[in-house]
Chains A and B, each alone.
Chain A
Amino acid sequence: MNEWITHAPILIIAIPLFAAFLTPLVDRVSRRGRNALVFIAVILTLILTLALAKDVFDHGLRIYTLGGGSVDSTLVTLPSGYRLPVRIILEVDGMSAFMVVISVLISFVGLLYSFSHIKENGAGKYYTLFLLMLVGMLGMEVTGDLFNLFVFLEILSISSAALIAFYARGGKPVEASIKYIVISSLAALFVLFAIGLLYGEYDLLNMGAIAKKISLAGEIPFLAQIAFVLFLTSFALKAGAAPMHMWLPDAYGEAPGAISMVLVAATQASLYALLRVCFTIYGAAMDTAVIGGILIILGLISIFIGVTMALIQIDMKRLIGYAAVAEIGYILLAVGVGIFELAKGEISDYSMKALQGGIFHIFNDVMDIGLLFLVVGAVMYVTKESNLNKLGGLAHSMKYSSIFFIIGMAAVSGLPPLNGFASKILIYESVYKVSPLISIIAILASMLMLAIFVKIFHSVFMGPKLTEYERKDAPRLMLCSMAILAAIMIFFGLFPDFVVNNIVNPAVNALVKNLPYISAIGGA
């Protein structure tokens, strides 16, 4: 392969990071220049990411050692002859590549949207934080080092908390932001504590190397078990799984439109960390029935709470926030079933199918919910109102937005021929293996979801024209960003086989067959 692709893993972190700190400087000179800089940085990252993902899907794992040199040069030989990796290593396997593509794609769409949405004076800072958020997500997804994961987790938390409070003139965004930062910094501290426990047990920070030790021992020592519990709770909290979801509707509801969408991708980054810990680090010795069972229960609670709480909301952004909780529930449910079925010896077809559905749903969730957030953001931009009881009749003036809302609504409630159906059918037809009741609950929740969104659609877009709102559609750039998402969603819905075979399967295989990831790092 080409020489430059070896540096892609660090470049996709370094380019947005550099641009983030350049943005406030350029902002002092010209607004147009700042927008161009941010746009070029994100589009460069997008191109590099796609090239990297293609390379990883074709050729397998790609490793980058910070500080140069081969992987073996990262090993430090102790006087006792014990060799251990100490440098920071970026490891991009199928799952990382999959997540990285999601994050960058969503950030790109969010950026286009922000150009026409954010007109305030502080926009320079907005884009700095936006790029830092992208850095945090990408860093979490490509790193092979636990401490590095913690650092990027904190970068992500700090920048997203600041962005949630972007409209700080009202009290509510600040309130949501305080909730978010208190909860996520506490979660991050417990992640750090768990990393400390693992370091005390194994003297290692590299995920692959720790996984190797665990798989060689074949059992998990007591301290590492405590660390596992801490990882599981902290990352589930950051991913917004019920009953730890209370910060999520507030944060989604108060953030600017594009940020709500990128926040969905940010919660998926935490979900990725959860999967990485479950499958890669503890994969060999994990008690699959217990962990799978816990994830299934978390998923069911999330689906139930998300859907029922969404039914009673009157603020449309909070409502979609609760729907996002339910969607996270679907992913946890599918992954839980995947792990649960692993317990019975070999990887069964059901387990594989459940994991395919779950991983595919990560992509679909962030696009469906993201599109709805974009439409709702556009409605709020035009009308300055988010109360469902006050809005109405917008389909007369916002024709394109209402079409995009219908697409998002159909996708999120799993109607064919859209992408939500493609992944949900995989989930329905695999989870019944554990218990048919789970499938029934999942299908029922999808129907309720449709009911909820028909309610929003009816009260926001249908009805007679209301005179108090401006009669215009969203700005063209907003519609353009929604159109990109809608086009990808329709493509995914029409050709699910293509997507599953080319994008989802490499990710699932990377999770289940974690040997390349583990054995890439020598030592011990």
Chain B
Amino acid sequence: MIYQIPFIAVIGLIAVGMYAILFKKNLIKIAIGITIVESGVNLFLITLGYREGGVAPIYTHLPPGTNIPEGMVLPVPQALTLTSIVIGVAVLALILSLIIKMYRKYGTLNAYEMRRLRE
């Protein structure tokens, strides 16, 4: 059970994020929703990489008594997560800058009032 809690959290985070994106009108809340989904996905990747008792594969900082190389983990998911976090920051920065432009133009953050394209 204890090992499944992170996966339940992943589903929970993605569901909360999707709820915010789908049902919230405020653009800032939509941006927050995207970051929550992203956190969920990152948590999923990092959970996949967890091995009980494994250590990071850094030869100079191994705890004494580690089996080489059986005790080490292959750090691919961690690398993926770092990359994904960096990309997420870029996306969030772009969304927020667009929202700022939008607010200056329309004077509101309500997505339902910004539908000039629908005309």
Contacts and interface: CB of A to CB of B under 8 A. Distances in A.
> Do A and B originate from a single complex?
yes
Contacts of A158: 90-91, 94
B94 A162 contact: yes
B69 interface: yes
Contacts of A254: 117
A182 B74 contact: no
Interface residues of B, number: 34
A196 B37 contact: no
A86 B34 CA distance: 29
A168 B87 CA distance: 23
Q: Of residues B69, B83, B98, which shows the largest number of chain A Cβ atoms within 10 Å of its Cβ?
A: B98
Interface string A151-164: 10010011001100
B91 to A, nearest CB: 5
Interface stretch (A173-181, A457-465, A466-474): A173-181
Nearest to A180: B98
Interface in B50-91: 69-70, 74, 76-77, 80, 83-84, 87, 90-91
A86 B79 CA distance: 12
Contacts of B87: 151, 154
A158 B87 CA distance: 9
Interface in B100-117: 101-102, 105-106, 114-117
Contacts, number: 89
A383 interface: no
A200 B48 contact: yes
Interface in A167-191: 168, 170-172, 174-178, 181-182, 185-186, 189
Contacts of B106: 171
Interface in B1-56: 14, 21, 27, 30, 34, 37-38, 41, 44-45, 48
Contact of A196 (B41, B114, B116): B41
B95 A178 contact: yes
A189 B80 CA distance: 13
Contacts of A86: 74, 76
A147 B76 CA distance: 10
Contacts of A154: 87, 90-91
Contacts of A368: none
Contacts of A147: 80, 83
Nearest to B70: A79
Interface of B: 14, 21, 27, 30, 34, 37-38, 41, 44-45, 48, 69-70, 74, 76-77, 80, 83-84, 87, 90-91, 94-95, 98-99, 101-102, 105-106, 114-117
A357 B65 CA distance: 63
Contact of B101 (A79, A168, A196): A168
A39 interface: no
A189 B37 contact: yes
A171 B105 contact: yes
A441 to B, nearest CB: 28
A165 interface: yes
A193 interface: yes
A192 interface: yes
Contact of A79 (B69, B91, B117): B69
A76 interface: yes
A172 B116 contact: yes
A177 B100 CA distance: 13
A205 to B, nearest CB: 7
Contacts of B44: 193, 196
A154 B89 CA distance: 12
A182 B30 contact: yes
B80 A178 contact: no
Contacts of A200: 48
B74 to A, nearest CB: 7
A186 B37 contact: yes
Contacts of A196: 41, 44-45, 48, 77, 80
Contacts of A250: 117
B101 A174 contact: yes
A151 B95 CA distance: 18
A175 B21 CA distance: 16
Interface string A132-155: 000000000000000100110010
Given A171-B106, A199-B48, A161 B114 contact: no
A182 B95 contact: yes
Q: Of residues B27, B91, B105, which shows the largest number of chain A Cβ atoms within 10 Å of its Cβ?
A: B91
Contacts of B91: 154, 157-158, 181, 185
A128 B6 CA distance: 40
A76 B106 CA distance: 55
Contact of B116 (A175, A177, A189): A175
Contacts of A174: 98, 101-102, 105
B94 A161 contact: yes
B36 to A, nearest CB: 10
B27 A178 contact: yes
28 contacts: A78-B74, A147-B83, A150-B84, A154-B87, A158-B91, A162-B94, A165-B98, A171-B105, A171-B114, A172-B117, A174-B102, A175-B102, A175-B116, A181-B91, A181-B98, A186-B34, A189-B34, A189-B38, A192-B45, A193-B44, A196-B41, A196-B48, A196-B77, A196-B80, A199-B77, A200-B48, A253-B117, A254-B117
